[in-house]
Amino acid sequence: MQANWQTAPRVLLLLVTVAAIAATLGVGVALVSALGNLCGERAAPPVPSPDGRYAAVVSDSDCGATTPFSGRVSLLDRAARPSVLFRREVSVVTYRGRLSALSVTWRTARDLAIDFRDCVPIYSLRDAWQDVRIIVRSPCAATSALAGQDVAQTGRERGAR
């Protein structure tokens, strides 16, 4: 019996420690779930195409003091139904900067112009999505972080036919 009385405090201490760890993890998971996305994200109002089929959405996010603002231009197909094989929305340009770094205008119902105001690194871009042509213009010759990409030099357009 003496052996049981000697091990009982250790077992009790182990159970209390495991319960405390589980409670701490539970509180941590609940806190992260309640806070949601810790990055601050904002979006400008959607810019609909002239026929209303598509909308361009410019958004940016800031994930804290150690990361720069990152921006995104997305296209949304308002007529499509989302499915496993088909996405209704897709990012067509990602860049380093804020919402104010560019302007988005529809030239026609199928030609989207993205005009950068400043020289910012462009991380990814598409020339087209579905039947929409994407025309990116920038005031500087070397704004792309993509090796070998020629991103719209002054007076030239990427995506123009």
pLDDT tens digits for range 83-113: 655 557 788 888 887 778 889 999 999 999 9
pLDDT class for 80, splitting at 50, 70, 90?
confident
Q: In this structure, is residue 144 part of a structural domain? A: no
Q: Based on the domain organization, do 15 and 74 belong to the same domain? A: no
Q: CA-CA distances (angstroms) from residue 57 to 15, 63, 93, 111, 142?
A: 53, 20, 11, 15, 25
For position 157, what pLDDT does the model report? 45
Please check whether residues 45 and 93 belong to one and the same domain: yes
Q: Are residues 74 and 62 in the same domain?
A: yes
**C-alpha closest to that of 158 among 139, 140, 136:** 136
61 and 115 share one domain: yes
Query: Can you tell me the mean pLDDT for 71-88?
Result: 75
pLDDT at 147: 35
Q: Does residue 119 form part of some domain?
A: yes
Same domain, 68 and 89: yes
Domain span holding position 22: 1-36
Residue in this structure with the two tokens 């003091």, named with its chain if needed: 65
44 and 105 co-located in one domain: yes
DSSP H or E stretch at residue 59: strand 54-62
Q: What is the pLDDT of residues 111-142, one digit of tens each?
A: 999 999 888 888 888 999 989 999 998 887 55
* Whether residue 8 is found in the same domain as residue 68: no
Whether residue 147 lies inside any domain: the answer is no
- On whether residue 84 sits in a domain, the answer given is yes
Q: Residues near 137 by Cβ (< 8 Å), separated by ≥ 6?
A: 113, 114, 115, 116, 152, 156, 157, 158
Same domain, 54 and 98: yes
Mean pLDDT of 31-52: 75
Q: Report yes or no on 146 lying in a domain.
A: no
Pair (17, 85) in one structural domain: no
In this prediction, residue 28 carries a pLDDT of 66
pLDDT at 78 over 50: yes
Residues 31 and 85 occupy one common structural domain: no
Query: Residue 138: what pLDDT?
Result: 84
Lowest mean pLDDT among 15-19, 103-107, 150-154: 150-154
In a domain, 145, yes or no: no
Q: Which residue has the higher pLDDT, 5 or 129?
A: 129
